[in-house]
Amino acid sequence: MSGTATQIAAKIADEPKVKLCALLLEDNRLDADLVLRALRRGGFDISSTLVQDEVSFTRALRPNPPEIVLADYNLPNWTGLDALNVLQREGFDIPVILVSGALGDVTAVECIKRGITDYVLKDGLARLPDVVRRALREKHERKLRHQVEQDLEKKMEELARSNADLEQFAYVASHDLQEPLRMVAAYTQLLAERYRGKLDADADKFIGYASEGALRMQVLIQDLLAFSRVGRNTAPSASVDCNSVMQEVLQTLASPIQESGAAVSADDLPSVWADRTQIVQLFQNLIGNAIKFRGTEPPAISVKSEKQDRQWRFTFRDNGIGIPAESLENIFVVFQRLHTRTEYPGNGIGLSICKKIVERSGGRIWVESQVGSGSAFKFTLPLKTADEHGRTKP
Amino acid sequence: MKSRLKLLLVDDNPADIGLALEALSGSAHHSEITSLENGTEALTFLNRGGKYADAAAPDLVILDLNLPGCNGLTILETMKTGPELRRIPVVMFSTSRLSRDIVRSYELGASCYVSKPGNLNDYLSAVKSIENFWCGFACLPPKGE
Amino acid sequence: MNSKEVDILLVDDSQDDVELTLHALRSENLANNVFVVHDGEEALDFIFCTGAFAQRSSEHPPKLILLDLKLPKVDGLQVLERVKSDERTRNICVVMMTSSREERDMASGYNLGANSYLQKPVDFSEFRKMVKVLGLYWLVINRPPLSNGVAHAAGQGK
């Protein structure tokens, strides 16, 4: 042996041996011994079983499956590839190394395609330990990755369940809170009406505060209910014609539009893949806001759309009071309001509902605005059909 | 214009009964209102059982859904299958907005279904409308066969 | 007309009464979706989407039928009976609105399942007042069901 080879051999001899449990599929005893010797030289402490046919092969897989299979390609009644089939059928992920006489390149490639991890020629057994090491390492990495994926999946399930619980809770709470609240609101109001001026000034004031508080709570709960309903509905997505949605919204908002002298213009809008009721709510909230938060001029609102990749991007532009830069993000947060109740009415839930609807439909919503120059609310929605979405129809 | 009509109001929430009475207190129709908070008791009343042996049959029943004892739908069903009680119009008056409650009520023979509004003024107005329509405009079926 | 939603089906052969009714409904902003037929046969065709109305979709039954008793071809009580005995239509609100003062007719009406029964006042302004109250009551305060088991939302009130 050359100097380096001796050094390597010595090095390997000094290192601790790696235990390896191998299953050899070989009908020639001598060849089997050669393989085992090569592996021992390569630093493995091998324990092995030798089999020649399918039955013994299958039996050798249990109860302790081997870490690796070393198979001859050509056996009397069987091939190394058949061993692979057995493993796949029985659900084992064990690397199979073909140890063979001359294999044509074509056959070699075929084998690898079919799932053989690697192959080594019988007159090139010096390579075998490294090949085995690499196969074992890849298997280990595969296992780790699988574990990580499973953990992730479990975490996501837990998260989804937790979310569902929370939404259910929000819904039930707001729903059940309505009844007792209705009593408080109704009777404080009756108190206010019946006893106004009949008790003392303090009483009028106290009852007034209680009554206002109750009424505001009623609206808050209704808004919360509306918000949590967005997550609860089970209507399946379908193709929604946004032009017809605009018609419906303009009709619903006919009064505020007329009172404010608003001019609403819309492009020819596309169809999107979503829940129609929610899209109506989305459009209605955006246009309603544009009218509500108007400046000194009558509101001028434009609705445009353009196709971007696999989505439609909508822009709702207005000439209202605008939004300060520092508020552009948290404006979508539940109950965030930028103004006092006396300046502009409302609870601040409209935009968070919009955000929830858009995100549930697979889109994104944001706003570009400057104080005094109006706002442009933009959001994306998926394209019309399941086909366009890239899914295959069932 | 018309004679005093008898209203039976069945609701397990005394606060809501209070609101209904408040709504009807100034009414020109001067209806005679009997209110009961329990479903079983309401059926006894309608069937003139026990202490209600001398009770006169109501001209109109305003009926909540969720009641202790017998619930609203059962009372409705019982009324609409009884030879005498079936001709009495029944107005369902409930906080429930569930489709299944609304549809089931109509199926069992309710004349109409009114959802209790959450807002005080709307509530009072709804009760007044119920009385106004049924006592002031509708022709109620004659008593006896 | 095929899929247009009809709120009120008005069945009356008296043109005067029809006009008064429409006028009263209009003043309460309730006349947008009223469809008028003049006899019982037309009424049945409309409700069951047959004959002249075969193109009509049965998905949108009217929220309210205002039904006169004395009608040509098929009379009001027969229409009522057909509507109330058919699974698909028996939940539709039917209000008899008639000039008949016969108690017998009223008893029959209720027996056949009419939701309510009103006598048309002779006086014009009383008539109009009645239609207003009835429109508001049945379209705004009342919640009608839909025949496929889904209930309508309450009306334009709030």
Same domain, A243 and A378: yes
- State the average pLDDT over residues A16-38: 89
Instruction: Assess contact for A367 and A238: CB atoms under 8 A.
Output: no
Shared domain check, A223 and A253 = no
Determine whether A163 is exposed, middle or buried from the number of CB atoms within 10 Å of its CB (0-12, 13-18, 19+): exposed
From the list B100, B115, B132, which residue is nearest C154 (CB)?
A: B115
Q: What is the mean pLDDT of residues A25-43?
A: 90
Question: Residue A341 — pLDDT band, cuts 50, 70, 90?
Answer: low
Tell me the average pLDDT of chain A: 85
Q: What is the DSSP string of A150-201?
A: HHHHHHHHHHHHHHHHHHHHHHHHHHHHHHHHHHHHHHHHHHHHHHTTTS-H
Q: In the beta sheet, which residues pair with residue C61?
A: none
Contact B87, C110 (CB under 8 A): yes
Look at B120 and A179 and tell me if their CB atoms are within 8 Å.
no
Tell me, what's the pLDDT at A13?
Answer: 60
Same domain, A252 and A373: yes
What integer pLDDT is reported at residue B145 of this predicted model? 39
Token representation of residue A239: 């193709």
Whether A359 is covered by a domain: the verdict is yes
pLDDT at A66: 92
- Domains of chain B by range and CATH? 6-137 (3.40.50.2300)
Residue A261: per-residue pLDDT: 92
Residue A388 included in any domain? no
One-letter identity of residue C140: V
pLDDT of residue B124: 95
- Residue A192 belongs to a domain: yes
CATH classification at residue A26: 3.40.50.2300
Secondary structure (H, E, C), chain C? CCCCCCCEEEECCCHHHHHHHHHHHHHCCCCCCEEEECCHHHHHHHHHCCHHHCCCCCCCCCCEEEECCCCCCCCHHHHHHHHHHCCCCCCCEEEEEECCCCHHHHHHHHHCCCCEEEECCCCHHHHHHHHHHHHHHHHHHECCECCCCCECCCCCCC
* Residue A70 near residue A22 (C-beta atoms within 8 A): yes
The fraction of chain C above a pLDDT of 70, given in percent, is 90
A45 φ/ψ angles, rounded to the nearest 5 degrees? -95, 95
| Neighboring chain B residues of A186 at a CB cutoff of 8 Å | 15, 19, 120, 123
Average pLDDT over residues B44-67: 94
pLDDT digits (tens, 9 = 90+) for A2-18: 566 666 666 656 677 88
Q: What percent of chain B has pLDDT over 90?
A: 78
CATH number, domain with residue A292? 3.30.565.10
Mean pLDDT in residue range A331-360: 78
CB contact residues (below 8 A), chain B span 56-115, against chain C: 87, 89, 97, 99-100, 102-103, 106-107, 109, 111-115
Instruction: In whole angstroms, give the CA distance from residue C100 to residue C104.
Output: 10
- The length of chain A in residues reads 394
Buried residues in A25-37 as b, exposed as e (16+ CB within 10 A): bbbeeebbebbbe
Q: pLDDT category, A81, cuts 50, 70, 90? A: confident
Same domain, A183 and A279: no
Give all domains of chain C, ordered by start, each with its CATH number: 8-141 (3.40.50.2300)
Predicted confidence band of residue A239 (pLDDT cuts 50, 70, 90): confident
Model's pTM, two decimal places?
0.69
Contact C/A (≥3 CB pairs under 8 Å): no
For the segment A313-325, what is each residue's pLDDT rounded down to a tens digit? Answer: 999 999 988 888 8
pLDDT given for residue A6 in this prediction = 65
Residue A210, chain B, CB below 8 Å: the answer is: no
Q: Identify which has the larger pLDDT, A231 or C55.
A: C55
Question: Cα(A74)–Cα(A78) distance, rounded to whole angstroms?
Answer: 7
- Is A190 touching B (CB cutoff 8 A)? yes
- Domain of A99, in residue numbers: 3-144
Pair A302, A356 in one domain: yes
Residue with tokens 């493995």: A44
3-state secondary structure of A130: helix
Residue range A282-294, pLDDT digits in tens:
999 999 999 988 8
* pLDDT per residue as tens digits for the range C60-77: 889 999 999 999 999 999
Which of A178, A179, A186 faces B120 most closely, judged by CB atoms? A186
**Per-residue DSSP letter, A79:** B
* Secondary structure element (H or E) that encloses residue A30, with its range: helix A29-41
Cα distance between residue A211 and residue A191, in whole Å: 9
Over residues A112-127, the mean pLDDT reads 88
**Cα–Cα distance between C45 and C147 in angstroms, integer?**
16
pLDDT over 90, % of chain C: 57
Using the predicted structure, report yes or no on whether residue A102 has a pLDDT greater than 90: no
Same domain as A272, residue A213: no
Residues of C (74-133) whose Cβ lies below 8 Å from B: 90-91, 93, 103, 106-107, 110-111, 113, 115-119, 130, 133
Q: For the purposes of burial, counting CB atoms within 10 Å of the CB of B19, is it exposed (0-12), middle (13-18) or buried (19 or more)?
A: buried
Q: Determine contact, residues A131/A124, Cβ cutoff 8 Å.
A: no
Coil, helix or strand at residue A103:
coil
Among C118, C137, C150, the residue with its CB nearest the CB of B139 is: C118
Out of A100-109, A330-339, C146-155, which region has the weakest mean confidence (pLDDT)?
A: C146-155
Alpha-carbon distance of C76 to C114, in angstroms, equals 11
Q: Which residues of A touch B123 (CB under 8 A)?
A: 186
Q: Is A345 left (phi over 0), alpha (psi -120 to 50) or beta?
A: beta
Q: Are residues A71 and A179 in the same domain?
A: no
pLDDT > 70: percent of chain A: 89
Residue A153 lies in a domain: no
My answer on whether A179 and A288 are in the same domain is: no
Q: Phi first, then psi: what are they for B88, rounded to 5°?
A: -75, 125
Note the pLDDT of residue C155: 46
Same-domain status, A273 and A342: yes
Note whether residue A272 is domain-resident: yes
The answer to whether A129 and A15 have CB atoms below 8 angstroms apart is no
Residue A370 vs residue A79, higher pLDDT: A370
Q: Are residues A374 and A294 in the same domain?
A: yes
Q: What number is the average pLDDT over the span A326-337?
A: 79
CB B48 within 8 A of CB B20: no
Radius of gyration of chain C (CA): 14
pLDDT at C153 (0 to 100): 53
pLDDT at C156 over 60: no
| A246 occurs within a structural domain | yes
d(CA C148, CA A228) in angstroms, rounded, equals: 27
pLDDT category, A223, cuts 50, 70, 90?
confident
pLDDT at A105: 73
φ/ψ (deg, to 5) at A48: -140, 160
Residues of chain C contacting B141 with CB distance shorter than 8 Å: 106-107, 110, 117
Average of per-residue pLDDT across A340-367: 82
Tell whether A228 and A259 lie within a shared domain: no
Q: Could you give the number of structural domains in chain A?
A: 3
Q: Which of A184, A211, A232 is the last residue of a domain?
A: A232
Q: Which of A210, A232, A254 is the last residue of a domain?
A: A232
The verdict on A185 touching B (C-beta cutoff 8 Å) is: yes
Task: Show the CA angle centred on residue A234, arms to residues A232 and A239, nearest 5°.
Answer: 125
The pLDDT value given to residue C149: 46
Q: By CA distance, what is B97's nearest residue in A?
A: A175
Q: Tell me, what amino acid is at C44?
A: L
**A217, A232, A247 - which closes a domain:** A232
Residues 64-123 of B with CB under 8 A from A: 95, 118-120, 123
Distance, CA of B96 to CA of B115 (rounded, Å): 7
What mean pLDDT comes out for the span B5-24?
Answer: 95
A204 and A80 together in one domain: no
Residue A16 in domain: yes
Q: Is the residue at A149 inside a domain? A: no
> What's the rounded mean pLDDT across residues A245-274?
90
